[in-house]
Structure 1
Amino acid sequence: MQYLLVFIGVVLVGIVVFLAVGRRRPEAGPALPASGPILGLAESVPSLPPVLLPEHPTAQDVANMRLGVGLRGYRCDQVDEVLAVLAGEIDRLQEELDATRRGPVISATNQSPE
């Protein structure tokens, strides 16, 4: 019985606090049009500077990289930029690797390149 009275007392105190805080709120601003933005889903303000990777990023550059957090995860524009730079670097390294695997070109004159 004592626990029930304590529970009811806590609920009553909560209701009083809820009502007291609700009365102190300023009046709501102008009504938003029906096609206006949905409250709470505004674009987040980036808290980190833009992601800048060098032209030829190293593993340390990628490890030190930090992305800004948006509404539902990392900011898409920053992720797209990082992926584009990394894809370009992977392509460049793959071309370089393919060139070394092909080996030197031997001419038809039996002379080795100098």
Structure 2
Amino acid sequence: MTPEGDASPASLRILRTRPQFLALNRGIRVPAGAFLLQARDRGDEDPAVGVGFTCSRKVGNAVARNRAKRRLREAARIVLPMAGRPGWDYALIGRKDATAGRAFDALLDDLRGALDRAHR
């Protein structure tokens, strides 16, 4: 049994195209401590949870952006299969100095809290 409940985990699919991210831009925005979460209900019958990651050049050089994205990917891999809603897409947008410097347990808590606020 998992801490999030008895539901079976949803499968994740990675968002890769610009139209997918633009559609998310029109959805719900939830600021979290280390990142910004964007969420939207796709409204289709696909039960997969879509997830995308981005960090602008404001976050830092390529090394800093890649580190921030690796941390966001791992947090999403751990949290979204159980806490994300099937049929929804999410984008995690890194923040300067916050995403890479945040304790990983706090990053996981930020994601769980942001998902709760997005689905209210």
Please tell me the TM-score bracket, short chain as reference: under 0.3
Higher strand share: 2
Bigger Rg, structure 1 or 2: 1
Compare the two structures and name the one with the higher helix fraction. 1
Give the alignment's TM-score, normalised by structure 2.
0.21
- Compare relative contact order (CA 8 Å, sep 6+) and give the higher one, 1 or 2: 2
